Chains A and B, each alone.
Chain A
Amino acid sequence: MGLGLLALRATRTTSATLTRFSSSSPISRVPTISSFIRTIISTPELQKPEASAATQSDPLPEIHPPRTPLGGARVHFTNPEDAIEVFVDGYPVKIPKGMTVLQACEVAGVDIPRFCYHNRLSIAGNCRMCLVEVEKSPKPVASCAMPALPGMKIKTDTPIAKKAREGVMEFLLMNHPLDCPICDQGGECDLQDQSMAFGSDRGRFTEMKRSVVDKNLGPLVKTVMTRCIQCTRCVRFATEIAGTEDLGMLGRGSGEEIGTYVEKLMTSELSGNVIDICPVGALTSKPFAFKARNWELKGTESIDVTDAVGSNIRIDSRGPEVMRILPRLNEDINEEWISDKTRFCYDGLKRQRLNDPMIRGPDGRFMSVGWREALALVAEVVLKVKPKEIVGVAGKLSDAESMMALKDFLNKLGSNNVMCEGNGVNPQADLRSGYLLNSTISGLEKADVFLLVGTQPRTEAPMVNARIRKAVRATQAKVGYIGPPADINYDHQHLGTGPETLLEIAKGTHPFCASLLAAKNPSIVVGAGVFEREDKDAIFSAVETIAKNVKAIRPNWNGLNVLLLNAAQAASLDLGLVPESENCIESAKFLYLMGADDTELDKLPNEAFVVYQGHHGDRSVYRANVILPASAFSEKEGTYENTEGCVQQTLPAVPTVGDARDDWKIVRALSEVAGTPLPYDTLGSIRARIRTVAPNLLHVEEKELPIFNAELKPEVSQKMSKTPFGKAVENFYMTDSITRASKIMAQCSASLLASK
């Protein structure tokens, strides 16, 4: 709720009172022009609502300007007969049955001030800020908790409602410290905004303010508990969405406190979201504390690349520095939450950066050189090597454009050994349904039975995990899990650890089959960690058998899902980054690593020439002969496809560091120096090239669902091994070069993993 909107609203109501007073009752004290200009008024009429109600007993029929619903609020009638009509300030509005008064007001375009109400959390009704007047009700009612009834006459700008808000605000500010100048929420604080718009201009409280001891919630969330107004949004978020019952309410009356019952850290991977939902400055970001003011920041709407979900984020930057990362609303992907890794990995963007092209000298040390020398050296070496011995590996964070350029470049040199890490040595890239989350992230809510095969969504994709949890909470969906013992934050059955359980389910002998068969929308989620296994084809054929048995693939429901791990994976398989030979790295003489840090380089021959192109000095740099500095995701425009096949683009928020360049530009320049120039030199023309390979990668913010299903796949005769499934993500907080460079992530993995 922006301050401007609130101020506008306050002015509008004031002018309405002005006209009403002057027209209907000339005897009453006519407000002067000065009170019209001021947006906050305390008038004698407001102190005595009965008297003012008596003076305007016969109001003139008012003509309302047409109003638009707030914040794009839309009404969806599942059953047209359920529609009821209520009147908000005399304005008729049709809403479905079961909506609250507050929602009805939102549809009518009236913004009700609120603190405890949040439309993704359960209703608490304890802040009392949303009081409105309802005709024939003796007292003002809390609109967030009151269901709207047919024919209800809701009044939001009467003196009673105004006085109620003013009174509530006075009570809230009673114990709230006056420390806005040193508060990190200052400028984006709901209490600040609403006290300007709805509060009184003075308080009557003369006692001492209460103070509360701060709690330690770990390295991410800073608490200043004296500022807390006990809205309990954070408690409800922790129990309902994050699924960790860490926070709670202690004490009664003025001794009421939010806290962990015993001294402990908040162990959720979504804990950063309590910073966003806290309406005051009680919970703020610890790494961001006292770093910047929100009005100094430039927001850039971008995409997260630390996992395969592609959460929509806003990168807030000041000058050349990323200051913080906030979520952006996207109902289909991340709703309005992001994981802690996404939110706090940004300090990794400022550490361990590669800023100059470097060449390893004869003494084994790196020395900075110009681009000309570095590219000339690489081109000289690559032209001497046999085409078969050239291998390219794209990293976890590569965008589609640079992967396209890398593949085209190596193909021009005569090699077809291009791969993307995380996809295994022999990925299946022919059928898109074989590597996408086919029922889509938001579609997971409709599923009623889940079978998780070798995947721990909580660490691999926390936003997907939040969806599964939402489904489990909302519809009591059953979850069966096959894999190593894991910390899953919803009710589930641990069916087994290895592929033999999968075979049992495929044969129909396992007890969980009954629930799968009874399910309306069964959803089978296979982790991308399976890609790295030798027997992945056998496992996938077993999973497909299960899907066929339980009728998981129907025209309107596709319940066979693969949950990918990395941001680059889906796009790389769409572009066909499949190596020609399975053991190409063992025989490579020239290895081009494009940000690939998790590739096993032990088997690489010692004499092989390694080029590392990337933005961080991480694992693979130490094996490199030439380092080419590239830009990170916050510094470039790139296309990423998430695990459900939704294509999104990042936008540059900050300039690149040092002499670094965009990935595709480096590959393009290298191809020119090597004498095989690629036929594109703008982002537009490289996308035109992508259009010929994978046209879906150009349909930004659209999900291109796979057309063909697994039935087209050839029969496999692979033997399934007995090796149990492993954990694909060992440490949730450190999975790629950015997060491994981040100090905050290191603190998290040290303190939070130790506390478990």
Chain B
Amino acid sequence: MVELSPSNFRVLNRVPFTRAKPECIFKRVGDTSYVYCLSGQTKIHNIGSTCVGVDKFGNKYYENLDYQSGRHRWVEYGDKNRYNASQVPPEWHGWLHFITDHTGDEPGRYEWDAKILERELFFNETQSSAHSLPSNRISSRVIDLRFRHIALKAIHVSNFLDAIALLMLRPKRYGIEHKQNFSGEGDEYIYHSKGHSLNPGQRDWTRYQPWQPTKTS
């Protein structure tokens, strides 16, 4: 395959052949991609998408609401050569898997300590105050019916609306630092889509047989 590295590009395409061509490619792809093309990789799917955030490992999280639902959020791993899903830290996991709309780098609002959480959820049965919960309340009109069973449970807590706020709550971490799993264990279970280069059932679409020297001279 032709790698579009700048060096090859200049030697074989731009300078000797035609000056118009490279620009044409970039124009079609869009202005944002120009940099990407030159930096070694053409990422067509990132065009027109918003980069929602970057985590501490350098993984970039993208969203494009024009895409098919369920495919509209994705991660671009920071380390392109060695990656697996354990690189996504827990604070981003929920966003990436459509569990919550809150991104992993949202500042402190819901950053609750596990201890406080535990106290609020389970010790409120002893009629302690829950007013240490965040004060920004959600209007009761937006409360969905599916929250009702939680709401019923939350009567014990103290306040219906506080319980909804609790639902939005996302623990920061479970007391230990997140670690990527690069041990190789379980790698065979990683799903690679059909066209992916790491898919074990990938077919060889090369329709020619390259030259094999039959004699040496």
List A residues at the B interface (Cβ < 8 Å): 319-321, 349-356, 364-366, 370-372, 375, 616-617, 621-623, 657-659, 661, 665, 668-669, 671-673, 677, 681-682
Contacts and interface: CB of A to CB of B under 8 A. Distances in A.
Contacts of B16: 665, 668-669, 671-672, 677, 681
B18 interface: yes
Contacts of B199: none
Contact of A371 (B12, B210, B217): B12
Contacts of B18: 681-682
B205 to A, nearest CB: 8
A355 B208 contact: yes
B8 A372 contact: yes
B213 interface: yes
B17 interface: yes
25 contacts: A319-B207, A321-B207, A349-B208, A351-B208, A352-B209, A352-B211, A352-B212, A354-B211, A365-B213, A365-B216, A370-B7, A370-B8, A375-B11, A617-B212, A617-B213, A621-B213, A622-B216, A622-B217, A658-B208, A659-B2, A665-B17, A669-B16, A671-B16, A672-B15, A681-B17
A55 B217 CA distance: 88
Contact of B11 (A365, A669, A677, A682): A669
Most interface-central of B17, B18, B211 (chain A CB within 10 A): B211
A622 B17 contact: no
A350 B210 CA distance: 8
Contacts of A616: 211
A356 B215 CA distance: 19
Interface string B9-45: 0011001111100000000000000000000000000
A677 B12 CA distance: 13
Given A354-B210, A665-B17, 13 more contacts: A352-B210, A353-B208, A355-B208, A364-B217, A370-B7, A371-B8, A372-B8, A372-B11, A658-B208, A658-B210, A661-B12, A672-B15, A673-B11
Interface residues of B, number: 21
Interface string B80-101: 0000000000000000000000
B216 A364 contact: yes
Given A659-B2, A681-B17, A669 B211 contact: no
Contacts of B8: 370-372
A353 B210 contact: yes
Most interface-central of B12, B15, B18 (chain A CB within 10 A): B12
Given A665-B16, A665-B17, A681-B17, A622 B208 contact: no
A362 B217 CA distance: 12
Task: Name the 9 nearest CB pairs between A and B, nearest first.
Answer: A617-B211, A669-B16, A321-B207, A672-B16, A350-B208, A372-B11, A353-B208, A657-B208, A355-B210
A372 B15 CA distance: 12
Contacts of A351: 208-209
A370 B3 CA distance: 10
Contacts of A321: 207
A350 B209 contact: yes
A622 B213 contact: yes
A669 B17 contact: yes
Nearest to A616: B211
B12 A669 contact: yes
Most interface-central of A351, A658, A668, A681 (chain B CB within 10 A): A681
Given A371-B12, A372-B7, A668 B208 contact: no
Nearest to B216: A364
A354 B212 CA distance: 9
Nearest to B210: A355
A235 to B, nearest CB: 37
Contacts of A370: 7-8
Contacts of A349: 208
A621 B212 CA distance: 11
B10 to A, nearest CB: 9
Contacts of B11: 371-372, 375, 669, 673
Nearest to A318: B207
Contacts of A352: 209-212
Nearest to B207: A321
Contact of B215 (A371, A372, A622, A665): A622
A621 B210 contact: no
Contacts of A319: 205, 207
Interface in B158-214: 205, 207-213
